[in-house]
Amino acid sequence: MDPEHQLHDADDEEKWVYDSSLDHKGRVPLRSSTGAWKAALFVVVMHQDLKTAVKNVNYWSGVTTLMPLLGAFLADAYFGRFSMILISSVVYLLGLGLLTMSEVIPSLKPCDNTDSCHEPKKLHGIVFFLALYLISFGTGGHKPSLESFGADQFDDNHAQERMKKMSYFNWWNFALCSGLFLGVTVIVYVQDEVSWAIADMVLTCSMALSIVLFLLGKRFYRYRVPEGSPLTPMLQVLVAAISKRGLPNPSNPGNLYEIPNSENTKGSRLLCHTSKLSFLDKAAILEEEEYVEENEVKQSIKKKRSPWRLATVTKVEELKLVINLIPIWLSTLAFGLCVAQATTFFIKQAATMDRKMGNFVFPPASIYSIAAIAMLISVAIYDRIIVPILRKVTGNERGISILQRIGIGMVLAMVSMIISALVERKRLKVVDREILNGPASMVGPVSMSAFWLAPQLITIGIGDGFAIVGLQEYFYDQVPDKMRSLGIAFYLSVLGASNFLSSFLITIIDHLTERGGRKSWFGKDLNHSRLDKFYWLLAAINGVNLLVYMYLARRYSYKNVEKRVAVTADSSEDERHGTKETA
């Protein structure tokens, strides 16, 4: 290529975005006026959702955990992320509006006289639970689509935008934790000291405002066109590989079937061949009759090729990516167990301790604000200070790899459980000492300050800043491009499955202690429990799991993408050559 064409190609790549995204009018996006932070900021603001931070721990956790998988599938396959965000946000707003109405409208209130209310009205129950399930359905489409849509605004094929995208997940979680901090402080205080109705009104208005802000950014966004179910091509690869299981793999992977960049009309990124799970490569083997050289005959054969018989290398690699996610997903469940304690037992511990700040007694849930602040500070320091230093030291544009970042968070989560066990043991000693003063002391909070919980909350907060952000980036980045909303849903399912696993673990421990004739670790209240032993068990589980995770992380192969660039000044948008780029 002559220097004049090379210069023109560089200018063309800077002007237009060639990553298969479109602008709001369905055209190739202009880089200067779409995407990047100018678009992502509308999305980040949209996610400052206080309702989830305050109430979803106790409500509809099962449905809320499962719905993102369905919502993400519909977004990726049919509706597109923008439409799914808008639809689910309206459903979410309707749920919040109904919840507010159930607290404000006299006929929908639980009782006419709250002072002598023994049983709420049936109509209130219907409206209340309808509101909760609307919020649950709204969450299912809102959570996975919104985060992935924000990340879509950055072009992986453009060096500067790729660097900005690496910061996006940090600042996404900064915004999330800001909302969480307001939720467990301001909103909880309004609910406890003013009224639930006022708190619900604030949340409803906040959601309505966020929808307006989201729509204001419409002209700046880059959009991805849904390509149908991402599961069908994977099933096709599996069927094709099984049907050609008797064929030998070619010694040269270059002989496997792939659509050339010049014929890739959809503009989606092609993946490079990897050697792992080589059995699936059989799906991309060209059978003998398909090597016919005559162009006319070759074209006629191409038209008859069935996707259930022959798959491209990219489709094969996409299935490999999903299979490779499974061990990492399983090995992060132990970390999720630690996170589950921060929003349950940590708060229960705070409820039994002295929560005075001068003459003010803060609600138990507000203790979690310490973890939120720790995560806010750690994410900002990591993005602005640590990453630039690590880039110079390691030569990695991320500073450290995604899986290394997750691993650091897992270590901190284990340390948090060790600290939690030590603090709980000290709390139980204070309980034992104060029981001697009379039975009344067993009912009220102990004299030990709730701020003794700060070290474990700070440690888990910093750990979240590494592992939670890393998990979001990993599941977004390492799934096929067409499945990125589902990728975020997979991340959410780690936390959801961990909550169920935590409950299951408690049940198993109870069963084993009862069979052994020993006192249960979980008594009628925390003062009659041995929560410290449970924390030690979680620390041990995480220690063993960390060894497994390190083994998997060392053997993991990251997504290998062919970068697409323009060829000549006269070429079409899709006539670009590929160069290997490991994501």
How do residues 81-124 score in pLDDT, each as one tens digit?
899 999 999 999 998 888 888 877 777 766 655 555 555 566 76
Task: Report the distance separating Cα 426 and Cα 451, nearest Å.
Answer: 13
pLDDT digits (tens, 9 = 90+) for 167-195: 888 888 888 888 878 877 788 778 777 77
Average pLDDT score over residue span 524-536: 86
pTM exceeds 0.85, yes or no: no
% residues pLDDT > 90 (the chain): 24
pLDDT digits (tens, 9 = 90+) for 407-437: 999 999 999 999 999 999 999 988 888 765 6
Nearest residue to 405 (alpha-carbon basis) of 418, 396, 417: 396
Contact 147, 476 (CB under 8 A): yes
What is the predicted pLDDT for the residue at 404?
Answer: 94
3-state secondary structure of 111: coil
Question: Could you tell me the pLDDT band of residue 352, with boundaries at 50, 70 and 90?
Answer: confident
> Mean pLDDT in the chain?
79
Task: Report the distance separating Cα 324 and Cα 277, nearest Å.
Answer: 9
Task: Report the distance separating Cα 212 and Cα 225, nearest Å.
Answer: 23
Contact 108, 448 (CB under 8 A): no
Task: Report the distance separating Cα 528 and Cα 486, nearest Å.
Answer: 43
Q: How far is CA 122 from CA 102, 103, 108, 135, in A?
A: 12, 14, 9, 20
What is the predicted pLDDT for the residue at 420?
Answer: 95
Enclosing H/E stretch for 563:
strand 560-566
* CA-CA-CA-CA torsion sign (569, 572, 574, 575): negative
Indicate the range of 99-108, 139-148, 262-271, 545-554 predicted with least confidence.
262-271
The H helix count followed by the E strand count for the chain is 20, 5
Task: Report the distance separating Cα 522 and Cα 531, nearest Å.
Answer: 7
| The two structure tokens encoding residue 85 | 């965000």
